[in-house]
Each structure stands twice: as C-alpha cells, then as structure tokens.
C-alpha cells in the first residue's frame, strides 16, 4: 500500500523512451508486442509444469513427515509392512518396482526395437501402415483392461509355461536356478513384467520408428553406396545415428513402467516378498498406494503410504536423471567421434 504512488506511475513509465526503444529494437522480447506476449505466455505454461511438480513434492514431503520422524532412514531398508502393529518399511516395494520395470524393459526393448527397425527399414509399404496402426492401438487400451486380461487370460496361460520352466530349468547340473523356484501360480513377478512389457511396447516402438525414419537418407545411401548389406547399414550408420533418440524411447517406456498401477496390481500377487524367483509374488510402490490408501485410517499409516509416494517420486527422478546422463555422455562421445574421424 505504501508503494501505491509508485505503482500508479508504472503505466506512464512503460511509455518512457528506454522501454519503447527496447521494444522497437527487438531487444529482450523480440520484435514486437506479440512476440513479447508469446514469450511470457509460453514461459508461463512451462513454469506451471515446474510449479505443479514442486507442489506435489511439497505436499508429499509434508504428508510424509510423521512417518519420517518415526522410522527415519530405516524406512528405506526394512522389510516389514504391518498396518496392525504400525511398523512400516519400504524395501520390498522399492525392489518390486525396480525389478518389474527392468523385467519389462528386458522383454520390451528387443521386441520394440526389432519392430521399429522392421517397420521403418524393411517392411513392404502395404504391411507398414496396418502394423504401425495396431502398435499404436495398444497404447490406447486402458490399464484396467490389461489387468483383467492379465488375470483371466495371461495368468492361466502362464501357469503351464512356468511349470515347464521349473521342470526344465529349475535345476541345472544339480544346482537350483533361483529364477525358476517356487509354486507356479501364474500370478507373480513374471506376469507383472510381461504385462508391463506389453504396455510399454507401443511407446518404445512408435518413438523408435520415428527416430529411425528421421535418419537422413544420405546416411543410408552412403552406406549402401559403399556396398553395405541391410544389416551393416542398419547397425552402423542408421542405429548409431538414431541411438540417442532410441534411448529416449526406452526412458519413456521405463517411466511408464515405474508408475503403472492397476494392471500390475492385478497380476503381481501383492505380497511384500523379495525373491529372485520370477514365479514369486511381488509388490510395487504404486500398487501399495492403490490398494491401501482408500481404507487407511490411522495417521501414521497414511503418512507411511505418502512416504511411499515420495519414494516413488524420488525413484522416478533418479532413474530419469541416470538415463539423461547416459544420453548426455552418448551424445558427447558421438560428437567427439565425429570430430576425431
């Protein structure tokens, strides 16, 4: 209120010579008022993303405080999750989230990349369009539908496969193979990883295909001109050129896998185990939240759940940061390589 006289003068000031000359000469905001509005407008949109993330973080932090005070750093490495005794530890959920997502990547990346290469480089045109369309259609299926399909179709189909895997590879040379131990219920980490793989496949495929298509034709022509085979042209000039983009596609898939809730919840078994076996049940951070948040009444319980959300938030940031670093170092190496060559 004290500053009122000053603010009332501001409109006059804006017509002062310095300001108008700044606008006329292009200056900070481009050539005209329109550009200036455009600049601030788009910046506001970009900033709103940052603000939303920040608000989510603050809200989660505030909500998680009682749990953080109670359990401290132990929350991250203890394995008990007992709502009755109100003893909470997040380790099995962190483990389940990371393992199911990595499993999904292991399955989806080769398939997705293979599909992308086929569609962009090798497929005849009449096949290209329908297959691309179908791949993108996969992305539009709601996750609860994937989950129900998982329970009623995938899991029963997986059971004999697990029995076969257990019989065939459960023991090799007298040693138990940890990956294939335990009762083959069908519901478990393998089912969770598979359903996630199917869900992230369209993202990896569609983005990779676009990236590979964006490789300049001169790269291909040069390779073929030197007598390269399809495979040689692909692994050298084309995939090398596109690899940062492909990494981006994989990260997009990973981010989706980390946060996916409903479909995984329905098939992963929801037991806070930490087992090497693919047949065993697991539990992910997002699944616990979906399962227990609605009926959690005590304050500490709710707070522990919010802390899980905070950990998921943190995990996503850390995984994305690592992926960015990877891309960054790749880009740098590629550039150096070009300079050297």
Partner 1 sequence: MKVTAGWKWGAVGAVLALSGCVSSGTAEQNQTLSGTATDQNSTTAQTNTTGTGGAKGQLTGAGATFPYPIYSKWFDTYGSKNGVQINYQSIGSGGGIQQLKAGTVDFGASDAPLKADDEKAMPGPVVHIPTVGGSVAIAYNLPGVQSLKLDGPTLANIYLGKVKKWDDPSIAALNAGAKLPSTTIAVAHRADGSGTTNIFTTYLKTVSPEWGTKVGSGKAVSWPTGVGGKGNEGVTGVVKQQPGGIGYVELNYAIQNKLSVASLKNKDGQFVEPTVDSTTAAIAGGLPALQKDIKAPLVNEAGAKAYPIVGLTYILVYKQQKDPAKGKALTGFLKWAMADGQSMAKDLAYAPLPAEVIKMNATAIDAIK
Binding partner 1 (rule: CB under 8 A), the pick from 258, 275, 277, 279 is 258
d(CA 202, CA 22): 49
Between 138 and 290, CB nearer to partner 1: 290
Site string for partner 1, 167-186 (x = CB under 8 A): ----------------x-xx
Q: Three-state SS for 81?
A: strand
d(CA 307, CA 72): 11
Minimum separation from the CB atom of position 265 to partner 1 (A):
5
Question: Torsion angle of alpha carbons 280, 91, 204, 160, nearest 10°?
Answer: 0
d(CA 270, CA 44): 41
d(CA 274, CA 79): 9
Nearest to 194 by CA among 250, 259, 268, 277: 268
Binding partner 1 (rule: CB under 8 A), the pick from 179, 296, 326, 330 is 296
85 binds partner 1 (CB under 8 A): yes
| Contact region with partner 1 (CB under 8 A), list: 10-18, 205-213, 218-226, 296-304 | 296-304
Between 223 and 285, CB nearer to partner 1: 285
Contacts of 77 (CB under 8 A, 6+ apart): 89, 91
290 binds partner 1 (CB under 8 A): yes
3-state SS record for 219-276: HHHHHHHCCCCHHHHHHHHHHHHHHHHHHHHHHHHHHHHHHCCHHHHHHCCCCCCCCC
Between 234 and 311, CB nearer to partner 1: 311
Binding partner 1 (rule: CB under 8 A), the pick from 17, 297, 340, 341 is 297
For residue 124, give both structure tokens.
């005849």
309 binds partner 1 (CB under 8 A): yes
Binding partner 1 (rule: CB under 8 A), the pick from 281, 303, 304, 307 is 281
Q: Which residues pair with 171 in a beta bridge?
A: 176
| Contact region with partner 1 (CB under 8 A), list: 67-75, 114-122, 215-223, 295-303 | 295-303
What value, to the nearest 5°, has the Cα angle with vertex 73 and ends 72 and 78? 105
16 binds partner 1 (CB under 8 A): no
Between 202 and 272, CB nearer to partner 1: 272
**Which residues contact partner 1 by CB under 8 A?**
52-53, 56, 59-60, 80-85, 147-148, 151-152, 155-156, 159, 183, 185-187, 258-259, 261, 265-266, 269-272, 281, 283, 285-287, 289-298, 302, 309, 312-313, 315-316
């Amino acid at each position: 209120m004290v500053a009122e006289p000053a603010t009332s003068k501001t409109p006059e000031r804006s017509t002062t010579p310095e300001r108008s000359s700044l606008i006329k000469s292009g200056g900070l905001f481009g050539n005209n008022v329109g550009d200036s509005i455009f600049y601030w407008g788009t910046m506001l949109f970009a900033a709103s993303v940052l603000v939303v993330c920040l608000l989510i973080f603050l809200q989660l932090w505030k909500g998680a405080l009682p749990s953080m005070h109670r359990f401290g750093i132990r929350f991250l490495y203890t394995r008990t999750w007992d709502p009755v005794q109100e003893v909470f530890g997040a380790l099995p959920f962190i483990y389940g989230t990371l393992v199911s997502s990595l499993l999904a990547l292991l399955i989806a990346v080769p398939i997705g990349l293979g599909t992308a290469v086929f569609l962009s480089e090798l497929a005849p045109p009449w096949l290209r369009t329908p297959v691309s369309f179908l791949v993108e259609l996969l992305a539009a299926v709601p996750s609860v539908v994937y989950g129900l399909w998982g329970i009623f179709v995938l899991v029963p189909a997986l059971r004999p496969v697990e029995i076969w895997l257990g019989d065939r590879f459960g023991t090799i040379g007298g040693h138990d193979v940890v990956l294939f131990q335990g009762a083959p219920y069908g519901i478990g980490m393998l089912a969770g990883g598979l359903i996630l793989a199917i869900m992230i496949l369209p993202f990896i495929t569609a983005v990779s295909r676009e990236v590979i298509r964006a490789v300049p034709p001169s790269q291909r022509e040069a390779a073929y001109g030197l007598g390269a085979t399809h495979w040689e042209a692909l692994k050298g000039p084309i995939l090398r050129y596109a690899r940062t983009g492909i990494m981006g596609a994989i990260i997009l898939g990973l981010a989706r896998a980390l946060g996916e809730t409903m479909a995984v919840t329905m098939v992963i078994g929801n037991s806070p185990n930490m087992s090497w076996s693919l047949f065993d049940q697991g539990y992910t951070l997002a699944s616990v939240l979906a399962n227990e948040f609605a009926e959690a009444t005590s304050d500490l319980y709710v707070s522990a759940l919010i802390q899980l959300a905070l950990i998921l938030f943190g995990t996503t940031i850390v995984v994305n940061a690592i992926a960015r670093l990877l891309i960054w170092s790749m880009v740098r190496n590629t550039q150096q390589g070009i300079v050297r060559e």
